[in-house]
Amino acid sequence: MPPEWSSSSPELLLAVDRSSGRPLRAQLEDALREAIRTGRLQVGEKLPSSRELARTAGVSRGLVQECYAQLQAEGYLVPRPGSATRVAAGAAVPPVAAPSGPGGEKLLADFRWGVPDLRSFPLQDWLWATREAARGMPTAAFGYGDARGNVQLREVLAGYLRRVRAAAADPERIVVCNGYAQGLGLVLRVLARGGVRALAFEDPGSPVSLGAAAAAAGLRAVPVPVDEQGLDVAALARTDARAVAVTPAHQWPTGVALAPERRLALLAWARACDGYVIEDDYDAEHRYDREPVGALQGLAPDRVVSLGTVSKSLAPALRIGWALCPPQLADAVAEQKHLSDRGTPTLDQLALARLIESGRFDRHLRRMRATYAARRDTLLAALAEHAPGVRVTGLAAGFHAVAHLPADADEHRVVEAARGRAVGLHGMSACRASHAVRPPQLVLGFGDVGVRAITAGIAAVGDLLADPPRSR
């Protein structure tokens, strides 16, 4: 669909060269033909009036009228009585469709992980919050402002984190950033400048993204195993890392919560080696079968950096996150944020503050917990019906589960066979630093998969899960 400019005479940049010796009319006609052929001007799009184009191109209006008449005769343009001249249908060269790559087909269900229900984004609440924020936004707020972020949002976040996550939150130690990835990068650069040389991370976990973030900061990435109690702190202590990234509330991707004794041991490790724990408060808002676990940061605010985001609670596209920093790191992280991009958009920050203050954010989370709980129950029921022997874990919180396949199952062949049935399954091997396929497991995300799609998808691959292809 072509853009419909509000102006009755949209601007159009067409260059003519008076020193070339070619007639100006010919140059103008060629420039318009090229703009239409290449798709710069789309079918149905308005052209400037002859008077306006003559002014901007520095030619006579009569010359432009002759040019338009010639292109109308050739079928490039079409006049409309009482309206602007437009690009004619069929004038542009149709783009060559790129061949479909692997995974480009339409799927019956795609159990991809890490994506919330995008259809449930509270658009009306967000529009209301944006209007409210804009209405009361002071003139000074249109400047660059504090590198830490807007003080109103930082105060609201501090109160929210104290209330909901039992964090030791001070607005002066919060740095607003553009999502988790940026916050992690800022913190790692500060730690690297402070002498940290290696970043430990959970295995399985996020080896690709954490490895890339560590490398960008000049750090080595060191995997540390995870068991039924969470991160193996004894194994961590045997490395030379002085920073570790963890997901203690709901470990990604196994779903275990870091055991109380491991939490205390982890903080003791940080103090002993003058190190830092980077806490990703992953899935803390979406809990079902257990009471919420308080943020690790509340136990050791001088040793824990807590990273939060609205990517899972609202939508990734908002790109709003925060880093709750130890006192000794806050200024340096804010400086890195300033050097990086001068700040996160202020209006979006104020809209989020208004959304939280109004209680609409809490109401949205309550609705989404019910939505995800229903999908979780649907997934379990479908597996019980079509693949009753498959054990499922990691369902106490969040919107993904881990399906445990038989010990000799071939994880890659299961995924490939499911794709042939138009169902997207995703193996745990992608989450392991070694990419090992043992034990064979699947990470089943259900955040952005509807109830009907969950039922249909599991029904289509139930026999693959119950009796999967075996390793050769």
Does the structure show a pLDDT above 60 at 99? no
Q: How confident is the model over 12-25, as a mean pLDDT?
A: 86
389 and 350, same domain (yes or no):
no
d(C-alpha 440, C-alpha 390), whole Å? 12
Q: How confident is the model over 88-111, as a mean pLDDT?
A: 66
d(C-alpha 130, C-alpha 151), whole Å? 17
Q: What is the pLDDT of residue 3?
A: 57
Q: How confident is the model over 317-329, as a mean pLDDT?
A: 97
Quick check: is 136 in a domain?
Answer: yes
pLDDT in tens, 110-155: 999 999 999 999 999 999 999 999 999 999 999 999 999 999 999 9
Residue by residue, what is the 3-state secondary structure of the chain?
Answer: CCCCCCCCCCCCCCCCCCCCCCCHHHHHHHHHHHHHHCCCCCCCCECCCHHHHHHHHCCCHHHHHHHHHHHHHCCCEECCCCCCCEECCCCCCCCCCCCCCCCCCCCCEECCCCCCCHHHCCHHHHHHHHHHHHHCCCHHHHCCCCCCCCHHHHHHHHHHHHHHHCCCCCHHHEEEECHHHHHHHHHHHHHHHCCCCEEEEEECCCHHHHHHHHHHCCCEEEEEEEECCEECHHHHHCCCCCEEEECCCCCCCCCCCCCHHHHHHHHHHHHHCCCEEEEECCCCCCECCCCCCCCHHHCCCCCEEEEEECCCCCCHHHCCEEEECCHHHHHHHHHHHHHHHCCCCHHHHHHHHHHHHCCHHHHHHHHHHHHHHHHHHHHHHHHHHHCCCCEEECCCECCEEEEECCCCECHHHHHHHHHHCCEECCEHHHHCCCCCCCCCEEEEECCCCCHHHHHHHHHHHHHHHHCCCECC
Q: What is the pLDDT of residue 64?
A: 92
pLDDT in tens, 59-88: 999 999 999 999 998 889 998 777 788 999
Does the structure show a pLDDT above 60 at 98? no
207 and 334, same domain (yes or no):
yes
Quick check: is 340 in a domain?
Answer: yes
- 21-30, 84-93, 387-396: which has the minimum mean pLDDT? 84-93
Quick check: is 102 in a domain?
Answer: no
Q: What is the pLDDT of residue 216?
A: 97
- 15-29, 329-343, 375-389: which has the minimum mean pLDDT? 15-29
270 and 367, same domain (yes or no):
no
Q: Which residue did the predictor score with more confidence, 208 or 286? A: 208
Q: What is the pLDDT of residue 40?
A: 86
Q: How confident is the model over 370-374, as a mean pLDDT?
A: 93
Number of structural domains found in the chain: 3
Placement of tokens 């982890």 in the chain:
266
416 and 305, same domain (yes or no):
no
* pLDDT tier at 426, thresholds 50, 70, 90: very high
Cis previous bond, 469, omega within 30: no
353 and 428, same domain (yes or no):
no
| 220 exposure class (CB count in 10 Å sphere: 0-12, 13-18, 19+) | middle
- 15-19, 164-168, 210-214: which has the minimum mean pLDDT? 15-19
pLDDT in tens, 225-237: 999 999 999 999 9
Does the structure show a pLDDT above 80 at 360? yes
Does the structure show a pLDDT above 50 at 97? no
Asked if 307 and 321 touch (Cβ cutoff 8 Å), the reply is yes
Distances in Å between the Cα of 185 and the Cα atoms of 26, 47, 190, 204, 330 are: 54, 46, 9, 21, 14
Q: What is the pLDDT of residue 451?
A: 95
Quick check: is 104 in a domain?
Answer: no
Q: What is the pLDDT of residue 73?
A: 87
Asked if 319 and 179 touch (Cβ cutoff 8 Å), the reply is yes
82 and 225, same domain (yes or no):
no
* pLDDT tier at 96, thresholds 50, 70, 90: very low
d(C-alpha 150, C-alpha 59), whole Å? 50
Q: What is the mean pLDDT of the chain?
A: 91
Task: Give just the sign of the alpha carbon dihedral 282, 285, 288, 290.
Answer: positive
Q: What is the pLDDT of residue 11?
A: 77
155 and 204, same domain (yes or no):
yes
Does the structure show a pLDDT above 50 at 329? yes
Quick check: is 103 in a domain?
Answer: no
370 and 233, same domain (yes or no):
no
pLDDT in tens, 43-57: 888 889 989 898 888
Q: Are strands 109-110 and 423-424 parallel, antiparallel or unpaired?
A: parallel
Q: What is the pLDDT of residue 5?
A: 52
Quick check: is 309 in a domain?
Answer: yes
Cis previous bond, 439, omega within 30: yes
d(C-alpha 242, C-alpha 275), whole Å? 4
Q: What is the pLDDT of residue 84?
A: 82
169 and 302, same domain (yes or no):
yes
CATH number (domain holding residue 223): 3.40.640.10
Q: What is the pLDDT of residue 103?
A: 47
Asked if 338 and 147 touch (Cβ cutoff 8 Å), the reply is yes
Identify which of 211, 190, 448 has the alpha carbon closest to the alpha carbon of residue 330: 190
d(C-alpha 399, C-alpha 95), whole Å? 39
297 and 369, same domain (yes or no):
no
Choose the final residue of a domain: 358, 393, 412. Answer: 358
Quick check: is 433 in a domain?
Answer: yes
Q: What is the pLDDT of residue 230?
A: 97
Range of the domain at 3: 1-97
Quick check: is 253 in a domain?
Answer: yes
406 and 461, same domain (yes or no):
yes
Q: What is the pLDDT of residue 298?
A: 96
* pLDDT tier at 21, thresholds 50, 70, 90: confident
pLDDT in tens, 213-223: 999 999 999 99
300 and 445, same domain (yes or no):
no
Q: What is the pLDDT of residue 79?
A: 86
CATH number (domain holding residue 86): 1.10.10.10
